[in-house]
A and B are shown apart, each in its own frame.
Chain A
Amino acid sequence: MKGALDLLSAWAVPLLLAGIPLYALTRKVNVYAAFLTGARSGFETGVRIVPPLVAVLVALGMLRSSGALGAAARALAPLLDPLGIPASVLPLVVIRPLSGGAALGVVGDVLRTEGPDSYAGRLVSVMCGSTETTFYVLAVYFGAAGITRYRHALPAALLADLAGMTAAVVVVRLLFGG
């Protein structure tokens, strides 16, 4: 199963890149012209994402360097402790939605100090793999469409992150003990 999935992941992109134009040729599409039209809109979109991304990443960078992120993690610790989350894993819960790079840093730390096959090591792995950098995703997607009012998207996404992490604790306990 895992081998098949790996194979699929490795081959998906090259096969799509060759397969789509080949199929389009049989449907008499002007492949190159179509590609350039789409590519131009992609390029313009890429540029349009810059301002919202600067806004969000600056705010998050400020939170991290001011120590507010660490303080928030400490403040939440008593709330998260009963959930069965070890102290070394706690920062990940707060950091994961905010910064992908910092989250990977925490994961790498725990894997190094406690070992990848420990309870904490498995827990950070599952938590990190089952959640996304919520703020980044919202900034890119909404930014590209020119949306400045997210309405309920942010609270819903953060609740989903928390749910995914809680599920991670339960599943890791059930499957691996700890």
Chain B
Amino acid sequence: MSLVWTFLVAAAVITAAFTGSVAALTGAIAESAGKAVTVALGLVGVMTLWLGLMRVAEEAGLVTQVARLVRPVMRRLFPEIPPDHPALGSMVLNLSANLLGLGNAATPFGVRAMQELETLNPRKGVATDAQALFAVMNTASLQLVPATVIALRAGAGSRAPAEILGATLVASAFGLVVAVTVARLLARLRLGEAP
């Protein structure tokens, strides 16, 4: 990430020098930093609520029961995670919340899953294969109802705002399959091992 981040920042500064937008750039830097904190603070509320609720579900034994339901799939995708590890429960909750379009709940569960996966990580701070695959699955955005887009279409006066539902599902399912395949392939190639 050091390389990517430095490259992005340097590319922006060099482009700004060419386009003569250095003044705007300086403003954007402060504005983005402020916006990042607003976004993160917005997450603090849902994070607090959902991880509280999840703890209740955990103590009631609900999380393990849910995780047991989809264990065959998860074992195949994440063979390196011990079958009764708490990370699996959080991961299943995250993926189901994503599917239902409950972004508010999905993020806390996913974050929790990442932290639990980190306890299995022999090299702290360096993503494991399981962490990379799980993160990549989350960027594929598989959801049954793309509510935001449907709302935008309705607002723009579409005759059938939800007609894109099936197409969206197919496209994101394809994205997910590619995500899993590529992540597993790259993991096997041991790419990005250099710092």
A residues at B contact (CB < 8 Å): 2, 5-6, 8-9, 12-13, 16-17, 20-21, 23-24, 27, 29-31, 34-43, 45-47, 49-50, 53-68, 71, 97, 104, 107-108, 111-112, 115-117, 121-122, 125-132, 134, 137-138, 140-142, 144-157, 159-161, 163-165, 167-168, 171-172, 175-176
Q: Which residue of chain A has its CB nearest to the CB of B116?
A: A145
Question: Is B51 a contact partner of A62 (Cβ separation < 8 A)?
Answer: no
Question: Is B59 a contact partner of A56 (Cβ separation < 8 A)?
Answer: no
Report the separation of the CA atoms of residues A164 and B127 in the bound assembly, to the nearest whole angstrom.
24
Report the separation of the CA atoms of residues A178 and B165 in the bound assembly, to the nearest whole angstrom.
18
Q: Most A CB atoms within 10 A — which of B1, B8, B19? A: B1
Q: Given A142-B135, A152-B191, 20 more contacts at CB 8 Å?
A: A8-B100, A38-B56, A39-B55, A42-B44, A46-B40, A49-B43, A53-B37, A60-B32, A111-B152, A115-B156, A132-B139, A145-B114, A147-B118, A148-B1, A153-B127, A153-B131, A156-B179, A157-B136, A160-B139, A171-B170
Q: How many residues of chain B have a CB within 8 Å of chain A?
A: 113
Question: Is A62 a contact partner of B13 (Cβ separation < 8 A)?
Answer: yes
Chain A contacts for B31, CB-based, 8 A:
61
Question: Is B192 a contact partner of A151 (Cβ separation < 8 A)?
Answer: yes
Q: Which residue of chain A has its CB nearest to the CB of B159?
A: A117
Chain A contacts for B56, CB-based, 8 A:
20-21, 24, 29, 31, 34-35, 38
Q: Which residue of chain B has its CB nearest to the CB of A129?
A: B146
Report the separation of the CA atoms of residues A128 and B172 in the bound assembly, to the nearest whole angstrom.
10
Cβ of A39 to closest chain B Cβ, rounded Å: 3
Report the separation of the CA atoms of residues A165 and B112 in the bound assembly, to the nearest whole angstrom.
29
Chain B contacts for A168, CB-based, 8 A:
167-168, 171
Report the separation of the CA atoms of residues A168 and B168 in the bound assembly, to the nearest whole angstrom.
7
Report the separation of the CA atoms of residues A4 and B28 in the bound assembly, to the nearest whole angstrom.
43
Please name 9 pairs of A and B residues whose Cβ atoms are closer than 8 Å in the assembled complex, sorted by A: A2-B145, A35-B53, A45-B112, A125-B149, A134-B139, A146-B118, A150-B1, A151-B192, A152-B183
With known contacts A42-B51, A57-B32, A140-B107, A150–B40 Cβ distance under 8 A: no
Cβ of B148 to closest chain A Cβ, rounded Å: 7
Cβ of B156 to closest chain A Cβ, rounded Å: 4
Cβ of A13 to closest chain B Cβ, rounded Å: 6
With known contacts A9-B101, A29-B56, A62–B175 Cβ distance under 8 A: no
Cβ of A93 to closest chain B Cβ, rounded Å: 13
Report the separation of the CA atoms of residues A150 and B135 in the bound assembly, to the nearest whole angstrom.
10
Q: Most B CB atoms within 10 A — which of A12, A20, A147, A168? A: A147
One of B21, B168, B176 near A66 (C-beta < 8 A): B21
